[in-house]
Structure 1
Amino acid sequence: MKPMKIKDGVVKLGAVHFERRLFDSLIPLPAGTSYNAYLVEGSEKVALIDTVDPMKLDVLMEQLNDVPKIDYVVSNHSEQDHSGSIPFVLEKYPEAKVICTPKAKTFLMDLLHIPEDKINTVEDNERISLGGKTLRFIHAPWVHWPETMFTYLEEDSIIFTCDFLGSHLATSELFAEDECLVYNSAKRYYAEIMMPFRNFIEKNLDKIKNLKIDYIAPSHGPVYNKPQFIFDAYNSWVYDDPKNIVVIPYITMHGSVKAMVDYLTAVLSQKGVVVKPFDLTVTDLGELAMSLVDAATIVVGTPTVLAGAHPQVIYATYLANALKPKTKFLSIIGSYSWGGKAVDQLSSMITNLKVEVIPPVFIKGLPKEADFKLLDELADTIVEKHKETNIK
């Protein structure tokens, strides 16, 4: 990857990781990812904003071959996919100082063993002049770590947001030209990483809303040369009410739960509800997370394993609880034979969700006519709840 010019004195560096398919040993990456760094050259000083994952260190160092000096290495976020190459940059430019928030200083010292005397901390809205280019540092805690900040290049109206507003998308394009493709990748990124911090995101969107922003330069995915596109998407994901959607993550072992899910899906669909069932044996959990961004209701479907819920259903419930979507209602359906503790087990795992729990439908064995009538009643209740809360 060659350096790409955004404006005079501002270039995008970094690496595209086309082949990476798992992030943090947890998050699927169907479209790969990128690690973006940015070089800002003033008439007096030069700043490197963020670095790359050490797996792609060689790409960054090659890009820096013709850069004679770096005065500042700005660390917007201490996580290693952005900060992990800082020690190697400091080795090449021993005169450089790391710029970060006070909280990030400790993180960088602990995670990367950067010496304390190499780090300068900045307060919220503090500025550094590079000569004709001024960097303003905006603290943005919990987007998505407690030490995060944004860097705003005042003269060029560019905001470097690190993870915020980014997308796990491997692309060689500088700007977000294919907005449909970028939208889906950015939504997945929001769902998997940013959604648990929705309340903090609201505050930080407010914090930058009055800035003149011509470009948004995140640390994953393309640069936004039409910033309103991603602002509109985030405003929808963060502020809009959930939609008339029911998400059903489920597991079936011998067909009973599948029969219940298929029946409930058909009944709800006939009543005008959008239903998204996810068989957890084959589901991309990122797709499940994306569906939770908009869903008004979750119905968890499980068989029993050793009298409890299936382990994959337990994990999916844990995931939904951790992601804290805007969902308003939740219910549980399932089947048991000789032990039925799954409902109590799953109900105890949703403490983060501000939901009304609709009485579950948990049956013995293969569903019978009476059981399907209970599913009819569940569908009617969901439809009525959506109407009562003006969900459309």
Structure 2
Amino acid sequence: MYCVRKVTEDLFWVGGNDRRLTLFENIHPIPRGVSYNSYLLLDEQTVLFDTVDWSACRQFLENIEHVLDGRPLDFLVINHMEPDHGASIEEVLLRHPETKVISTEKAFMLMRQFGFDVTGRMIEVKEGDTFSFGGHTVTFVAAPMVHWPEAMVTFDTANGVLFAADAFGSFGALDGKLFADEVDFDRDWIDDARRYYTNIVGKYGPHVQLLLGKAAGILDQIKFICPLHGPVWRKDLGYFIDKYDHWSRYEPEEQGVMIVYASMYGNTEAAANALATKLCEKGMTNVRMYDVSNTHVSYLISETFRLSHVVLASVTYNLGIYPVMHNYLMDMKALNLQKRTFAIIENGSWACKAGTLMREFLENELKNVDVLDAGLSLNSAMHDEAAPDLDAMADALIASMK
């Protein structure tokens, strides 16, 4: 049974949803699943924009045949060759030997690497090339490293549709509501959209800025943003574009404090709770606390991109940083996190080293970060004599926001 939705009068969403997959890219938890978006244009010639993951292929093929209703499929445009979007290319071509494939040189190289035979079907395009399908003319815009090197986006000058590849996407399966204005995006989707961007694309902020710069010249012409995951945008486009601008410049969305603690027996956690309480007493109530051992790092990274200040509270473990806290730091480095203010709480019973090592990591491995001198060093547990240091740490965090 087909499952499609109209985007415009002659453009259809023909993708699929996967609610069984638990880990996106076998790393990131997706408790709400994920959508794989593909779009089919019915012009004088028919055009399919990208395919879907193998898990959604059967539904996808039924959707295509329903919309085509006996017409040939003239073209397949591949904006991004990652397997969650390119895995079904061969199945489409087997059923439609008439189809020509439009993509970039690097994408065709990747098709060959994945074992897809597109010999005799290739139409290679590059930055600035245009192609007409009848009433619709599209322009191809290179988007290298957003987030693979072959990526491009395609802009339809006739209807203002931007086929955005992996830009402007989100985790989360679609529950019938295709458009972002059909959901409460701030309540139900923004956290998944942020976690998707920061963990999948976050490292490549300068490349996203380059793409946003290219798009700036046609912002008034863009009427729809059609990503490869998540809802389609047809209203309030500036809201989501602004989020991408903040994230890709590594600017925090909000002034607030994220306290991430690593605690073996509860003593470091108690100090973190005391700091959170002290901050709220002093008027800084935008505080979030996370146990690094029980929170998947993708959520930690997303929150780190959202908030301006991060407190790292860690026990010393084998004369080093607690392993899962160290993993979190390594993910910050891998995803190019910067422009944050940090404070440190350390704990140790006989050799308190975590604080020194975390400071060295922050100052030597991350870019454009500040580490506050006001911190807290504990020997096994926090006692009354540590109260002045706790108070000073809260004051320093609040003062640094002004």
Q: TM-score, normalised by structure 1?
A: 0.91
Q: How far apart, in 2, do the equivalents of 1:72 and 1:372 lie?
A: 68
Tell me the distance in 1 between the aligned counterparts of 2:108 and 2:353.
Answer: 47
Matches within 5 A, 1:1-392: 2-43=3-44, 45-66=45-66, 67=68, 68-115=71-118, 117-171=120-174, 172-176=176-180, 177-178=182-183, 179-180=185-186, 181-211=188-218, 212-226=221-235, 227-238=237-248, 243-273=254-284, 274-350=286-362, 351-359=365-373, 360-387=375-402
Larger deviation, residues 157-166 vs 377-386: 377-386
Inter-partner Cα distance in structure 1 for 2:65 and 2:146: 32
Provide, for residues 341-377 of structure 1, a one-character-per-residue CA deviation record: whole Å limited to 9, x for no partner: 4335434544134202224433221122333322222
Residue by residue, what CA displacement relative to the aligned partner does 1:297-355 show, whole Å, maximum 9, x if unpaired? 21111112222222211112222223334542123212112333433543454413420
Q: Which moved more, 1:230-239 or 1:58-67?
A: 230-239
Tell me the alpha carbon deviations over residues 45-96 of structure 1, each in whole angstroms, 9 at most, x when there is no partner.
Answer: 2221110001111111122334342222211111110111112112222232
**Which residue identity is paired with 1:33?**
V
Looking at structure 2, the residues matched to 160 and 236 of structure 1 have their Cα atoms a distance apart, in angstroms, of 21
Distance (whole Å) between structure 1 residues aligned to residue 138 and residue 95 of structure 2: 23
Distance in 1 (alpha carbons) for counterparts of 2:339 and 2:283 = 18
Contact kept in structure 1, 2:85 and 2:228, CA below 8 Å: yes
Q: 352-361 or 143-152, which moves further after superposition?
A: 352-361
For the Cα contact (< 8 Å) 2:3–2:59, is it kept in 1?
no
Does the Cα contact within 8 Å between 1:36 and 1:51 map onto a contact in 2? Answer: yes
Unaligned runs of 5+ in 2: none
Aligned equivalents of 1:36, 1:114: Cα separation in 2: 23
Structure 1 residues 16-63: Cα deviation after superposition (integer angstroms, max 9, x where no partner): 1133331011111122110011111221x2221110001111111122
Alpha-carbon distance in 2 for matches of 1:175, 1:29? 20
Cα contact 1:249–1:316 (8 A) shared by 2: no
CA deviation after TM superposition for structure 1 residue 124, in Å: 0.5
CA contact (8 A) 1:167 1:189 kept: yes
Shift of 1:284: 4.3
* Per-residue deviation, residues 180-227 of structure 1 (Å, max 9, x unmatched): 323333223223223322222222112112320111111111211213
Query: Aligned partners of 1:335 and 1:4: how far apart in 2?
Result: 56
The separation in 2 between residues aligned to 1:62 and 1:148, in whole angstroms, is 27
4+ aligned runs moved over 6 Å, structure 1: none
Note the alpha carbon deviations across 1:245-275, whole angstroms, 9 max, x for none. 1111112111221121011112222223322
RMSD: 2.2
Question: Would you say the 8 A contact 2:18–2:55 is kept in 1?
Answer: no
Residue 115 of structure 1 deviates from its aligned partner by 4.5
C-alpha distance in 2 between matches for 1:2 and 1:159: 22
Which amino acid letter does the alignment assign opposite residue 18 of structure 2? H
TM-score (norm 2): 0.89
